[in-house]
Amino acid sequence: MTATVILLFVALGAALTAVLLRRQGTRRQRAVRELLDSADSLEARLRTARSEIEAIAGPGEDPVREAMQEMLRQRLWLKQHGASASLEDLRRVRSSFDAARARLDQQLDRLERARASSA
């Protein structure tokens, strides 16, 4: 009887561990997917910004280049460390992408208002 109870607790512990690991894996997959979606969104906005700036100022200097390079560095970091990064690290990088995109959107809005007022 005692051996049966011990085996039951061991089996229950193993099942609980498996459920917790699967749940953590799902959260990690979701965090990586959200991070990549955020990076894609930022990249698209950077490309739009580059086009709009060139339309106004003409080709030449690329003010978006540094932001693109930083985004590519973050993508490389994700490729190299994403599998071992904590969920907090993944969320931090995603937050940095989201914040950069929000700042870029504000700058593009200002640019559009300035263009509209000068027309």
The reported pTM is: 0.61
Report which residue type is found at 44: A
**pLDDT confidence of residue 71:** 78
When divided into structural domains, the chain yields a total of 1
Segment 55-73, tens digit of pLDDT: 776 666 666 777 778 778 8
Average pLDDT of the residues of the chain: 75
Q: 70-100: per-residue pLDDT in tens?
A: 778 888 888 888 778 888 888 888 888 888 8
What's the DSSP call for residue 119? -
Which residue range forms the structural domain that includes residue 68? 2-118
DSSP secondary structure letters along 43-102: HHHHHHHHHHHHHHH-SS--TTHHHHHHHHHHHHHHHHHTTT--HHHHHHHHHHHHHHHH
